[in-house]
Amino acid sequence: MNLEFKEQVWKAQFKATEESAAFEDKLRTAYGLAYRYEAARLLIGRSLAEPSRPDPLPRDTKFHSRAIPGENLFGADDDLWLCALILDGQFGVDATVDDLRALTEAHWARGYGLVREELDRCGANEIKLVQRLAEWLPETGATVEVGGMPASGVTGEIRLKVGSVSRTHPGDKPVDFVLNAPGIPPHIALMGAIGKGKTTTGVQIALELASQAGIPFLFIDPKGEFVADGRPIGPFAGLSNVGAMEAGTDPVPLDFLPRADAAPMKIARAAMRLRDTLVLCCKSPGDLQKDLLRTAIERVITDGDDRNLETVRETYEHELRAAGKENDSIVSRLNELTHLRCFDAKLQPAQFFSQSWVVSLKGLPEELKRLVTLVLLDAVSAFLLDQPDSPVAGGFRSFRHLLVLDEARKVLKERRSESLVDLVRQGRSKGSVVMLLSQDPSDFEGQTDDFTTQLGAVIAFACAQSQKGLGSLQGVFGRKLQASEFTDTYLTPGIAFVKLPGREPERIRCWQPGS
């Protein structure tokens, strides 16, 4: 293929019609599609399955204001898309990018009409629609999974820098590292006192990782630095594929309970998990209350109607009254969660975690921040650990999802919270990456001895330290650590003490003061 023509296509802008764009938004919500181009490809591909070419669009066609670059629209399989379109249009050597754009947008518009009609024939049932569309696929023997997460992101090694500068100090040599090298845990911890740059560096690494690996992320933002008026700000502001919300004002649209037809054991585990999380944030409820809460949650799941926390609260209150008990701290905590509208059961986990989100907890009381965080961790852990192992190509495991937890100390110090520990210990084979941002090594004291050995990289800016905290990092650093290695004198602004996979502990300049 002519490389100059291909480059022009990459830079060209393609637009959907206004009607198609609105329909694509519904498809993205229904199927958990993270990016606009995923829905666009579905419509274009459906039209290409027709034996005839589409009619050209009228001159007065109203297009959606936001275009998609050709590089994103066709992606890694651009050669296949371009070949299909060129053959369909019977283009010769004198064809222009405008010719290709006109044909693509005509297919896009026709595909919208075909898929919309198919959805109407399915009675607006999105599951049936997928099954109908699968009938247009070639006979390859492959199966189509409905409701599951994408198998993985891109294949091959994922190589990252350590911040915007990423050079040794001293030495000034460039530094990068492979996050998914064979035998290496992919999880990352960043620590540092307030204002030392750990969050800025962590966000840079997270965005680079999500972009390279082609995976969605969940960024839990307790301080509310990256969300304003329901929109992402700061380094996330230019990303059109990232949802943002402020819990308590904009409810998190996640249905974290299993379906009513799930296996009884799965329902029981989910009920016990939510019960244990709620109990962590309540004042010493008794065994009877715990059992009544578990029963109430199971009943809400199996009834399958109003699957929300309001119904859990009402059902639990009914169980309490039937047992002759008064309202307790569990009811109070559920009242807070529902009064501030922290969750809304709109999206199934497969849909929610297939998109990228920044969740601000800024407006919540401290105890409620912890509870919302724990519920989110329960949900992502339960969902990801239930997935099949992600594929390995050339020794490099593909990733599936990135979780970023700021102010992680509030969860790390909670010995009874198991979801984060399970995700760090078991998530590697499922393609899960966890990034923890905390203030100092002592934040890991609440965890078991082998927790930090599951970290592939530790990036520490100047921070406080205790002997017990330093001891918790010895496993990942591979030697005994000294308090002096974490001081302002040793780690001047922009410098971090870093342990990367396959490298000895060293100081690295992550960012440049004043830049």
What per-residue confidence (pLDDT) applies to 145?
40
d(CA 186, CA 511): 22
The dotted CATH code for 176-251+348-509 is: 3.40.50.300
pLDDT digits (tens, 9 = 90+) for 340-377: 889 988 898 988 999 999 999 998 998 899 899 999 99
Alpha carbon distances (Å) from 82 to 31, 99, 108: 26, 12, 14
Residues 160 and 212: beta-carbon distance below 8 Å: yes
Apex 419 CA angle, 200 and 189, nearest 5: 25
Eight-state DSSP code of residue 172: -
What token pair was written down for 125? 């049932």
Class of the domain covering 3-134: mainly alpha
Residues of the chain with CATH 1.10.1220.160: 3-134
Full DSSP string of 414-466: -TT--HHHHHHHHGGGGTEEEEEEESSGGGGTTS-TTSGGGEEEEEE-S----
SS3 (DSSP) at 189: strand
> Which residues are within 8 A (CB) of 4 and not within 5 positions of it... i.e. 6 or more apart?
none
Q: Which is it for the CA torsion 283, 287, 288, 289, positive or negative?
A: positive
Residues 112 and 43: beta-carbon distance below 8 Å: yes
What per-residue confidence (pLDDT) applies to 416?
57
d(CA 381, CA 426): 9
d(CA 104, CA 54): 9
* Length, in residues, of the chain: 515
What per-residue confidence (pLDDT) applies to 458?
95
pLDDT per residue as tens, the chain (515 positions): 566 787 788 889 999 999 999 998 888 777 767 678 888 999 999 899 887 889 999 999 999 988 999 888 987 666 788 888 888 888 887 889 999 999 999 999 999 999 988 888 877 776 677 766 766 655 443 333 444 555 567 888 999 999 999 999 999 999 999 999 888 899 999 999 988 999 999 999 999 999 999 999 999 999 999 999 989 999 999 787 899 999 989 899 999 998 888 888 888 889 998 998 998 888 878 899 999 999 999 999 998 777 888 999 999 999 999 999 999 999 998 998 888 889 988 898 988 999 999 999 998 998 899 899 999 999 999 999 988 889 888 889 999 999 999 988 878 866 556 889 889 988 999 999 999 999 888 887 766 556 788 899 999 999 988 888 888 888 889 899 999 999 999 999 999 999 999 899 999 999 998 76
What per-residue confidence (pLDDT) applies to 394?
87
pLDDT digits (tens, 9 = 90+) for 439-478: 888 887 766 556 788 899 999 999 988 888 888 888 889 8
pLDDT digits (tens, 9 = 90+) for 233-267: 999 997 878 999 999 898 999 999 988 888 888 88
Eight-state DSSP code of residue 284: -
Residues of the chain with CATH 3.40.50.300: 176-251+348-509
- E strands in 81-239: 159-161, 167-168, 176-178, 187-191, 217-221, 227-228, 231-232
d(CA 329, CA 335): 10
Task: Determine how many CB atoms are found less than 10 A away from the CB of residue 238.
Answer: 8
- E strands in 79-221: 159-161, 167-168, 176-178, 187-191, 217-221
Closest CA to 160 of 143, 144, 181, 140: 181
d(CA 345, CA 422): 24
C-alpha 144 chain-centroid distance: 22
Eight-state DSSP code of residue 61: P
What per-residue confidence (pLDDT) applies to 364?
92
pTM value is: 0.71
Residues 350 and 393: beta-carbon distance below 8 Å: no
CB-based burial, 300-322: b 16+ in 10 Å, e otherwise: bbeeeeebbbbbbbbbbbebbee
DSSP β-ladder status, 396-397 and 159-161: unpaired
Alpha carbon distances (Å) from 237 to 66, 270, 288, 356, 359: 16, 35, 48, 13, 14
d(CA 15, CA 20): 10
HSE-CB for 184 with a 13 A CA cutoff: 22
Alpha carbon distances (Å) from 27 to 43, 400, 453: 10, 21, 41
- Residue where the block lists tokens 């189509």: 144
